[in-house]
C-alpha cells in the first residue's frame, strides 16, 4: 500500500483540484465572479427556497377541463368550416357537447358527405401513421355526425395546452417583475412554479389562478324570461351569471375573444374610477367594427372566465379597434386584469394544489442557525477524531474538509440546489466519511495489538476495512437512489447530496487518507504507531 504509482497520485489530486475549482465561485463576490471569462467554472450553488425565502407552487390542470376545452375548440372548427365553404354555408342543427363528444345534424342530407370530408381535412392528423386527433362517424339519426376526440388526440391536446400554459405563466410572472422564476412542467398535468424572495405570494397566486378568457358576446334579448328562470336557454344561447348580480342570456358564439388583443392597460373611466383599456389587432378590430355596426342599439356582454362583467348597449359602431372595461375595479385589481389580458388566456384552468412559502427572514435565520450548528458539529467531529487517532485523526479531518468542498463543487457544476434537507444530508455524509476512517483506524489498532509491525498493520487495516466500507456504502447508495426515485421534494434534495457525498467520502476517506499515510510512512519510517 506504500506503493502509490505516479499516475494515481496525479489523477487523484487532479480530481481534487478540479472539484475545488468548481467550488471556488461560491466563495467569490458577484463582482469578482463577473471577471471570470466564459468557459471557466463560474456557477454558484443556488440556495433552495427554504433557505433564501420564496414561494413554491404546484399548479394542476384537470384533464377533464382540457378535454372540454378541446371539444369547445372543435365546436369552433365545425362552425367555421361549415359556414365558409364553396356552395354556401352548410346548415346544421342540434349541435351539442355531451359525454366527451360533439354531435350535430346536417339539415341538407345531400351535403352530409361534403361536411364530413371538410371536417376530415380540417382536423389534424397526429404525427406519422394513421393516428388522428378525432374520429368522425355518422350517427343513428339521418344526417347526424359524431366527432369524438381519440385518446391520442386528448393526450396531444393536454400536452399542447400545458406547454402553452407554461408560456402564459412565464409572461404573467415576468409582468410582476420577479427575479429568476423557475417554471417547469411536472408529469402530465402539473406545473411547478418557484419564485425566490417573493414578498407577496397572494398576488402571484391571484395571477396564476385565473384563466383570463375574455369574450364578447351578443345578449340574446329574445329569450323567454320564464324559460330562463328555469335554467333553460334558447338553442344557440347560454345563461351566464353577471358580476352585478342576476343572470344574462347570451349567444353561444362569441363576436370576438381575447386572443385578438394586442395590448391592455390601466386607465380611468368617465367617472374617474380605475378601468382597463384594451386594443385589438387589425383583424380583430375589423371584426369588432363590423359586429358593432350590425348591432347598433343592442346590448353585448363582456365576459371574463364565464362571468359577465358588464353588458352595455352598443350606442354607435366601435371602429377604432379599442375599448374599455369598467366595473368596480380598484387600481390593484384593474392592474391585475390588465396583466392577465396582456399575457393571454390560459388554455386550461389551473389550481394551486401545493404551496410552500418561506418568508425571507425565516430563510436567513435558518441559514444562520444552520451555519453555526454545522461549525459546532464539524468541530466536535474533528476534536473527537484527533483526540482519538492523533496523526491519523488529523489526516481524516483534512480528508473531511476536502470532502465537503468536493460536494459543493460537484453540486455547483451540476446545477443542483442546496436545501435544508441537503445540509442535513451533508452532515450525514460527514458521518459516513468519519465511519470509513474509524473502521480503518480501529482495524489498524487491532492489528497492532496482535503484534504486527507498523507497515503490516496499516496495510491489513486498509485492506480489511475497505471491503466493509465498500459493502456498507453500496447499500447506502442503493437507499439514496431509491429515495431519489420515489421521494418527493425534500427527500429528493436530501438524496442528491447523499449520493454525491457517499462517492466523495469513500474517495477522500479511503484514497486520499491512504495517500497521506503512505507518504508519511515512506518519509518518516516510524518504528511505532501512536494510534
Partner 1 sequence: MPLKLVPDNTNIGFVKLRFIAFALTLALTIGAGALLALRGLNLGVDFVGGLTMQVEFAQPPALDTLRGRVDRVGVGDSALQEFGNDRTILIRLPLPEGEEGAVQRVVGKVRTALEQNYKGVEFARVESVSGKVSDELITDGLWAVGLSMLFVALFTWFRFEWYFGVSTVVALVHDVVVTMGFFALTQLEFDLNIVAAVLTIIGYSLNDKVVIDDRIRENLRKYRQMDIKQIIDLSVNETLPRTVMTSVTLLAALIALLFLGPEVIFGFTAAMVLGIVVGTYSSIFVSSSLLITLGVKQRAAGTEDARAKGAERIG
Is 432 one of the binding residues for partner 1 (CB under 8 A)? yes
CA end-to-end distance (rounded Å), the chain: 18
Question: What is the nearest approach in angstroms of partner 1 to the Cβ of residue 119?
Answer: 34
Whole-number Å distance between alpha carbons of 279 and 173? 22
CB neighbours of 159 closer than 8 A, spacing ≥ 6? 188
User: Which residue of 254, 381, 402, 418 would you call a contact of partner 1, by CB under 8 A?
Assistant: 381
User: Which residue of 8, 307, 354, 519 would you call a contact of partner 1, by CB under 8 A?
Assistant: 354
| Total number of residues shown for the chain | 531
Question: What is the nearest approach in angstroms of partner 1 to the Cβ of residue 332?
Answer: 14
Residues of this chain, 402-421, that bind partner 1 according to CB under 8 A: 420-421
Is 378 one of the binding residues for partner 1 (CB under 8 A)? yes
126-137 burial by CB neighbour count: b if 16+ within 10 A, else e?
A: beeeeebbbebe
User: Which residue of 234, 312, 323, 487 would you call a contact of partner 1, by CB under 8 A?
Assistant: 487
Other Cβ atoms within 10 Å of 348 Cβ, number: 26
Residues of this chain, 130-189, that bind partner 1 according to CB under 8 A: none
User: Which residue of 198, 498, 513, 518 would you call a contact of partner 1, by CB under 8 A?
Assistant: 498
Please count the residues of this chain forming the interface with partner 1, following the rule CB under 8 A: 83
Q: Which residue's CB is nearer to partner 1, number 94 or number 471?
A: 471
Other Cβ atoms within 10 Å of 302 Cβ, number: 21
Which residue stretch of 212-220, 243-251, 293-301, 353-361 sits at the interface with partner 1 (rule: CB under 8 A)?
353-361
Is 472 one of the binding residues for partner 1 (CB under 8 A)? yes
User: Which residue of 289, 390, 413, 503 would you call a contact of partner 1, by CB under 8 A?
Assistant: 390
> C-alpha dihedral over 284, 289, 295, 300, to 10 degrees?
50
Is 488 one of the binding residues for partner 1 (CB under 8 A)? yes
Question: What is the nearest approach in angstroms of partner 1 to the Cβ of residue 172?
Answer: 17
Q: Which residue's CB is nearer to partner 1, number 28 or number 424?
A: 424
CA distances from 85 to 78, 115, 117, 122 (A): 11, 9, 12, 12
User: Which residue of 41, 209, 312, 317 would you call a contact of partner 1, by CB under 8 A?
Assistant: 209
β-strand partners of 238: 250
- Residue 491 in contact with residue 352, Cβ under 8 Å? no
Whole-number Å distance between alpha carbons of 494 and 474? 17
User: Which residue of 197, 431, 454, 520 would you call a contact of partner 1, by CB under 8 A?
Assistant: 431
- Residue 458 in contact with residue 510, Cβ under 8 Å? no
Q: Which residue's CB is nearer to partner 1, number 205 or number 286?
A: 205
User: Which residue of 126, 394, 398, 427 would you call a contact of partner 1, by CB under 8 A?
Assistant: 427
Residues of this chain, 448-467, that bind partner 1 according to CB under 8 A: 449, 463-464, 466-467
β-strand partners of 475: none
Q: Helix/strand/coil (H, E, C) string of 21-66? A: HHHHHHHCCHHHHHHCCCCCCCCCCCECHHHHCEEEEEEEECHHHH
Secondary structure of residue 422 in the 3-state scheme: helix
User: Which residue of 48, 196, 201, 274 would you call a contact of partner 1, by CB under 8 A?
Assistant: 201
For 228, the grid coordinates are: 330562463
Which residue stretch of 68-76, 91-99, 124-132, 427-435 sits at the interface with partner 1 (rule: CB under 8 A)?
427-435
Is 478 one of the binding residues for partner 1 (CB under 8 A)? yes
Residues of this chain, 292-321, that bind partner 1 according to CB under 8 A: none
Q: Which residue's CB is nearer to partner 1, number 264 or number 357?
A: 357
User: Which residue of 94, 227, 263, 471 would you call a contact of partner 1, by CB under 8 A?
Assistant: 471
Amino acid at each position: 500500500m506504500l506503493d502509490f504509482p505516479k499516475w494515481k497520485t496525479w489523477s487523484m489530486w487532479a480530481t481534487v483540484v478540479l472539484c475545488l475549482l468548481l467550488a471556488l465561485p461560491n466563495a467569490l463576490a458577484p463582482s469578482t465572479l463577473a471577471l471570470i471569462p466564459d468557459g471557466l467554472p463560474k456557477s454558484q450553488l443556488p440556495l433552495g427556497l427554504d433557505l433564501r425565502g420564496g414561494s413554491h407552487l404546484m399548479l394542476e390542470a384537470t384533464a377533464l377541463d382540457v378535454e372540454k376545452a378541446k371539444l369547445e375548440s372543435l365546436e369552433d372548427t365545425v362552425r367555421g368550416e361549415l359556414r365558409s365553404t364553396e356552395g354556401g354555408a352548410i346548415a346544421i342543427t342540434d349541435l351539442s357537447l355531451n359525454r366527451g363528444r360533439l354531435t350535430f345534424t346536417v339539415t341538407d342530407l345531400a351535403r352530409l358527405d361534403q361536411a364530413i370530408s371538410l371536417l376530415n381535412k380540417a382536423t389534424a392528423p397526429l404525427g406519422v401513421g394513421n393516428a388522428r386527433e378525432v374520429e368522425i362517424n355518422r350517427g343513428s339519426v339521418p344526417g347526424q355526425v359524431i366527432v369524438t376526440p381519440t385518446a391520442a388526440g386528448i393526450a396531444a391536446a393536454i400536452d399542447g395546452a400545458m406547454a402553452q400554459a407554461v408560456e402564459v405563466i412565464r409572461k404573467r410572472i415576468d409582468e410582476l417583475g420577479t427575479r429568476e422564476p423557475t417554471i417547469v412542467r411536472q408529469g402530465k398535468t402539473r406545473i411547478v412554479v418557484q419564485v425566490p424572495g417573493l414578498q407577496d405570494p397572494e398576488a402571484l397566486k391571484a395571477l396564476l389562478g385565473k384563466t383570463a378568457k375574455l369574450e364578447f358576446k351578443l345578449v340574446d334579448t329574445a329569450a323567454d324570461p320564464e324559460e330562463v328562470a328555469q335554467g333553460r336557454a334558447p338553442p344557440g344561447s347560454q345563461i351566464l351569471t353577471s358580476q352585478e348580480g342576476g343572470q344574462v342570456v347570451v349567444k353561444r358564439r362569441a363576436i370576438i375573444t381575447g386572443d385578438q388583443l394586442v395590448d391592455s392597460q390601466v386607465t380611468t373611466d368617465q367617472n374617474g374610477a380605475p378601468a382597463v383599456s384594451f386594443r385589438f389587432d387589425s383583424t380583430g378590430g375589423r371584426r369588432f367594427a363590423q359586429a358593432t355596426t350590425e348591432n347598433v342599439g343592442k346590448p353585448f356582454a363582456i365576459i371574463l372566465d364565464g362571468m359577465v362583467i358588464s353588458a352595455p348597449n352598443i350606442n354607435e359602431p366601435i371602429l377604432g379597434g379599442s375599448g374599455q372595461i369598467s366595473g368596480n375595479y380598484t387600481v390593484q385589481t384593474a392592474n391585475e386584469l390588465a396583466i392577465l389580458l396582456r399575457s393571454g388566456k390560459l388554455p386550461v384552468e389551473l389550481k394551486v394544489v401545493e404551496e410552500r412559502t418561506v418568508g425571507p427572514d425565516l430563510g436567513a435565520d435558518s441559514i444562520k442557525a444552520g451555519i453555526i450548528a454545522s461549525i459546532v458539529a464539524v468541530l466536535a467531529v474533528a476534536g473527537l477524531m484527533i483526540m482519538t487517532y492523533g496523526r491519523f485523526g488529523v489526516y481524516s479531518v483534512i480528508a473531511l474538509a476536502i470532502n465537503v468542498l468536493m460536494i459543493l463543487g460537484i453540486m455547483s457544476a451540476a446545477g443542483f440546489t442546496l436545501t435544508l434537507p441537503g445540509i442535513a444530508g451533508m452532515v450525514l455524509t460527514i458521518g459516513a466519511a468519519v465511519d470509513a476512517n474509524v473502521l480503518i483506524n480501529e482495524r489498524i489498532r487491532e492489528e497492532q495489538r496482535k503484534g504486527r509491525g507498523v507497515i503490516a498493520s496499516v496495510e491489513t487495516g486498509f485492506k480489511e476495512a475497505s471491503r466493509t466500507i465498500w459493502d456498507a456504502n453500496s447499500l447506502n447508495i442503493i437507499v439514496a437512489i431509491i429515495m431519489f426515485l420515489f421521494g418527493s421534494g425534500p427527500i429528493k434534495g436530501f438524496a442528491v447530496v447523499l449520493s454525491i457525498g457517499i462517492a466523495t467520502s469513500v474517495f477522500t476517506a479511503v484514497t486520499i487518507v491512504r495517500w497521506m499515510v503512505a507518504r508519511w510512512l515512506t518519509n518518516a519510517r516510524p518504528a511505532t504507531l501512536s494510534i
